Amino acid sequence: MLLIPCPNCGPRDETEFHYGGQAHVPYPENPNELSDTEWSRYLFYRENPKGIFAERWVHSTGCRQWFNMLRDTVSYDIQAIYPMGTPRPDSSSRATPATGTASTAPDSTTTGTAGPSTSTTSTLTTTAPEGATK
């Protein structure tokens, strides 16, 4: 079990928290102008890095406040806790999530269209999420 240092309450068991998914996913400026593909990219497509991951957590049975966390998805090492709305702090392995998966192992399941950069990836994969749209 993780021991998560809540910024308000101090270290508490992981069971007191709920996970909020990837942090820093901006709501689109003009949702009505997005294609279904771009909208589905915003809604459903998230990074799955092997390494440092910025994610949101809420201390649901404590102070009920949200916060951001930098966590290593391999070692579960918690590298930083920072408030909602603040930019991601620099970390030594900052480059890892930017390239999607850092793994070159043959068992890697990700294909290389990394990250939530909707504008570039959506044009390339217009046929991909057919099942997601109607």
Amino acid 120 reads T
Q: Note every long-range contact of 99-103, with CB atoms under 8 Å and residues 24 or more positions apart, other chains counting.
A: 100/47, 100/49, 101/48, 101/49, 101/50, 102/49, 102/50, 102/51, 103/50
To the nearest whole angstrom, how small is the minimum distance from the Cβ of residue 69 to other proteins? 18
Contact 100, 47 (CB under 8 A): yes
- Contact residues: other proteins, CB under 8 A: 8-10, 12-13, 15-16, 60-65
3-state SS of 37-88 is: HHHHHHHHCCCCCCCEEEEEEECCCCCCCEEEEEEECCCCCEEEEECCCCCC
Closest CB to other proteins among residues 20, 115: 20
CB of 18 to other proteins, least distance (A): 12
Q: How far is the CB of 9 from other proteins (least distance, A)?
A: 5
- Cβ-based nearer residue to other proteins, 60 or 93: 60
CB of 62 to other proteins, least distance (A): 5
User: Is the Cβ of residue 28 or residue 83 nearer to other proteins in the bound state?
Assistant: 83
Pick 8 or 117: Cβ nearer other proteins: 8
